[in-house]
Amino acid sequence: MPKFCANLTWLFKELPFLERFEAAKEGGFDAVEVLFPYDVNAQDIVNELGRHNLKMALINCPPPNYTGGEPGWAAVPAQKERFRRDFNRALRYAKTLGAQHLHIMSGVAEGDEAKACFIDNLRWATEAAPKQSLTIEPINNDTMPGYFLNCFDLAREVLEAVDAPHLRLQFDTFHAAKITGDMLGTWARMRDLVAHVQVAQMPDRHEPDQGEIDYPAFFSQLAAEGYDGWISGEYEPRSDTRAGLGWIA
């Protein structure tokens, strides 16, 4: 049975942030993720999670929201000190919220020096947070130009180099389709590394229903393969979020 999660950064934006938790529960979700919760009092989020019996599946690192700024810096050699300082802040938030996963963003960089920096920072992070599940996610260059981790083969290389059981892959179907043109084939190659799944339809990044990807079949495949992690809706609703939740039925 699939376990569905609502990304509250993308969904229910017609509501004030703290009201989105109740809407997610009423919409049929048992967990939520918030990309950048750092501008909100952590205790207020904890209260909403408890009030509506929701789990926090994932948050992003680094803080704060990178809107208008850099999308992380784990692979940016000149920002190594900043990454490690901000990772510790993100880790405190993750622990307070009970976040199952903490997603580490690579940032904009390129080349062998960036790869070495990324691997070194991830090794450091896995040692600094031995009990926290950590993820990395390939992101396509149309959505985030210049993002270092823009390839699934690179993601595997990095994960195998770090070789830590609590550092795994965050698999976003939209990014997989954009990067490779073959979401299902990419899933088949990478599923042994996956800890968390995010979904959106191609090509418009709306609800995972009608479009290029057969999501009912994909969800059935995940269940048959024994995937027991969260499946998070990370998409731009066509209109009111609640009107488009038929995909989780």
d(CA 234, CA 205): 8
Q: Is 113 a catalytic residue?
A: no
Q: Please name the helix (run of DSSP H) or strand (run of DSSP E) that holds residue 121, with its range, or none.
A: helix 112-128
d(CA 83, CA 146): 18
Q: Is 160 a catalytic residue?
A: no
Q: Which of 162, 112, 72, 156 is nearest to 171 (CA)?
A: 156
- Active-site choice (33, 48, 137, 207): 137
- Active-site choice (33, 48, 207, 234): 234
d(CA 119, CA 152): 15
**Which amino acid does the sequence have at 221?**
Q
d(CA 21, CA 34): 11
Which residues are known catalytic residues?
A: 137, 234
